[in-house]
Amino acid sequence: MATLKALSMRLKAVTNIQKITKSMKMVSAAKYAKAERELRPARSYGMGVQTFFDRAEVKQKEEGNKRLIVAMTSDRGLCGAVHTNIGRQIKALVPELPAGTEFKLICIGDKSRAILGRIYPAEMLMHFVDIGKKVPVFGDASAIANEIINLDYEFDHAELYFNIFKSVISYNTTAVPIFSRKNIEEAEKFNLYDSIDENVIQCYNEFALSSLLFFAMKESAASEQSARMTAMDAASKNAGEFCCGEKMIEKLTLTYNRTRQAVITKELIEIISGAAAL
């Protein structure tokens, strides 16, 4: 049997962790409410861009052998598998690429850099930090868009991976294509659009990229907060309630009290038998 001191320390640790996870849940619940509220107006940015690409039937050539992969995560952990899912999808994609394909990575957030930067260090172009401390704003998205526009890597095929928020308990890891100007000009229904010159297309495409990034940032922030809320809720439940079929804190309290009584009984026996021997 464990000593009394060890038991009391463990009991204290578990209770403290439960307190921490409970308050973290409260914090992320508040943050989640804000993220979800802000997500609704931000969605129209992404929807607008995607609808135009859909209607114009803009497509990326599959045979392009220079790819760019953008992974959208954040700096913060303790939110379930949100970031790991992004990394997993990209790791699953890379072996599927046809031979001779060159690909480069841009990681947004420390978590994707930690996951992907270790496996594909040679493919990393850049990563962005300080995401997730504050609510994402359009300025953040345009800063990323600016870096992508100014890349000296000419890609044929680009994709943005992010988590799309569905409900409090679910999100989908999705990839959306990032189109280049050439893609738009080669689109089938491009001629349906009237009086647009090269300049308009270039401007629109640059703006579309930052809108898409803004939309993805908001979506991933909302899914991250909701996932953190669920994860923290589960963690406090595990500490306070069922663990291996029993309530962990209750079980520990019971063992602690039993051990305490055993120690007292042992001491009493020692004193009494000592007195009897005199």
What is the helix (H) or strand (E) element at residue 203, kind and residue range? helix 198-240
Q: Rounded distance, CA 169 to CA 178, Å?
A: 28
Which CB, 63 or 154, lies closer to other proteins?
154
87, two tokens: 């990394």
Q: How far is Cα 12 from Cα 239, in angstroms, rounded to an integer?
A: 11
CB of 40 to other proteins, least distance (A): 16
The binder of other proteins chosen from 7, 68, 70, 144 (CB under 8 A)? 144
Pairing of strands 170-178, 102-108: unpaired
Query: Does the protein bind other proteins through residue 221 (CB under 8 A)?
Result: no
* Cβ atoms within 10 Å of 183's Cβ, excluding its own: 22
Shortest CB 22 distance to other proteins, Å: 28
Closest approach of Cβ 120 to other proteins, in Å?
A: 9
Q: Is 167 near other proteins (CB under 8 A)? A: no
Q: At 43, is the secondary structure helix, strand, or coil? A: helix
Q: Determine if 172 is a binding residue for other proteins (CB under 8 A).
A: no
Q: Which parts of 107-136 interact with other proteins (CB under 8 A)?
A: 117, 121-122, 124-131, 133-134
Task: Please choose, from the candidates 152, 172, 170, 153, the residue with its C-alpha nearest in 3D space to the C-alpha of residue 162.
Answer: 172
- Choose between 4 and 149: whose C-beta lies nearer to other proteins: 149
Residues that bind other proteins (CB under 8 A): 117, 121-122, 124-131, 133-134, 137-140, 142-147, 149-150, 199, 202-204, 206-207, 209-210
